[in-house]
Amino acid sequence: MPSALRPFDATRALRLARETCEIEAAALHATGQRLDGRFAQAVQRMLQVSGRAVVMGIGKSGHIGRKIAATLASTGTPAFFVHPAEASHGDLGMVTPQDLVLAISNSGESTELTAILPMLRRLGVPLVAMTGGAQSTLARHADVVLDSSVEREACPLNLAPTTSTTVQLALGDALAVALLDARGFRAEDFARSHPGGALGRKLLTLVSDVMRAGPELPVVAPEASFSALMREMSAKGLGCAAIVDAQGALQGIFTDGDLRRRIEAGADLRAATAGAVMHAGPRTIAATALAADAAAMMEEHGITSVLVAEGARLVGLVHVRDLMRAKVI
C-alpha cells in the first residue's frame, strides 16, 4: 500500500490519462518509423521453421508474450508460451530444433531468460529477440533483434512497465499480421480456429447443421385437402408446408402469407386442394450451403423459412428460429 493516499483529484486523473495515451501513441509512432529489414528477417525466419513459435518472457513481458502467442496461433502460426523459469526446470523439453523462440524482455537481462539462452543456442533453435536493450545479453544471443526501446514509461515514476509493454504488444501484432498475410490466411481459416465465435458460426455452420428434416418437416401431397394442409401447418408450427409428390419431388409451398392474401381476395378455399393453392417453384437452398446464406436469402426476400432441396427432392427446411438458435443471426 502507498505510504500516503492523496485526496482524489479528478482533473489530475484526466491529465495523467491523456498524458499516458499521448506518451504511448508517440512511442508506437517512433517504433513504426524505425522498423527496418530486421523485422522482415524475423518474419522470414518464422515462416521458414517447420515447428512452432515458442514465446518466452518474464513479468509483464510474460503477460504480453502469452497474448502474442495466442494471436499468432489464431492467425495461422502455431505458437505457445513457455515461462522461462519453468523452462529451466524441465519445460525446455517442449522446445525442439524445428521450433523458433521469440524472447521478450525490455532490458534484455532478465535472469530467468538469459539462463536458458546457451541451451537454446546448443539446440540450434533460431532466436528472435524483442528487447529495448540493443547491447543486452539477449540481443547478443539473438539471430534477429526487434528494437522495442522506449524513451520513457507512461508511469509518472518512469518505473512501471507501461509504454514498453504497449510497444511489445504492437510489435507482436505486427508480426502476426505480416505472417498471416504471407501465409495467405483467409477469413475462413480464422473461423476454423474460432468455431465458438460469431465469425466461426457464420463461416462454418452449414444448412445441414441447422435444418429440420424427416418427421419435423411440414409436408402434404398435391391432392391433400385444404383442411389437411391447414392441420399440417398447425401441427408443425412453422407457418408453411411443402407440397411434394409421391416420389418426394418438391412441387410447391403454401405459407401463412399465401393464406392471408387469398382470404383478403375473397377466395373460397374449402374445396381446394394443396396443389391448387400452392406457390409453385419455391426458393430453395442446398444442404451444403452456409447457414449464413440461408439467412441472407430470408432477409432479401422477406421470408421466414427456406426449403432445402437436393435436385428436385425435398430434404429439409430452415426456419429463422433455427438460425437464431444456432446464433448464426
Predicted pLDDT at 197: 58
The pLDDT value recorded for residue 89 is: 87
At residue 4, the pLDDT reads 65
pLDDT at residue number 267: 87
Whose cell is 428434416? That residue is 213
pLDDT of residue 24: 97
Residue (of 118, 146, 117, 116) closest to 134 by Cα position: 146
Q: How far apart are the first and last CA of the chain?
A: 48
Is there a contact between 74 and 199 (Cβ–Cβ < 8 Å)? no
329 residues of the chain, pLDDT tens digit each:
556 678 899 999 999 999 999 999 999 999 999 999 999 999 999 999 999 999 999 999 999 999 999 999 988 899 999 999 999 888 999 999 999 999 999 999 999 999 999 999 999 999 999 999 999 999 999 999 999 999 999 998 888 999 999 999 999 999 999 999 999 877 666 666 655 555 566 677 899 999 999 999 999 999 999 999 999 999 999 999 999 999 999 999 999 999 999 999 998 888 899 999 999 989 999 999 999 899 999 999 999 999 999 999 999 999 999 999 888 87
CATH architecture of the domain with residue range 204-325: Roll (3.10)
Question: What pLDDT was estimated at residue 70?
Answer: 94
- Sequence-separated (6 or more) residues with CB below 8 Å from residue 56: 62, 65, 81, 82, 83, 84, 87, 101, 102, 103, 104, 113
Cβ pair 88, 56 in contact under 8 A: no
- pLDDT for position 88: 87
pLDDT of residue 195: 58
Confirm whether pTM is higher than 0.85: no
| Parallel/antiparallel/unpaired status of strands 127-131 and 100-105 | parallel
Instruction: Provide the pLDDT for residue 200.
Output: 60
Where are the domain boundaries for CATH 3.40.50.10490 in the chain? 10-185
Q: For position 104, what pLDDT does the model report?
A: 97
Q: Considering the domain 10-185 in this protein, what is its CATH number?
A: 3.40.50.10490
Residue 31 C-alpha from the chain's centroid: 27
**Pairing state between β 284-285 and 100-105:** unpaired
Sequence-separated (6 or more) residues with CB below 8 Å from residue 301:
283
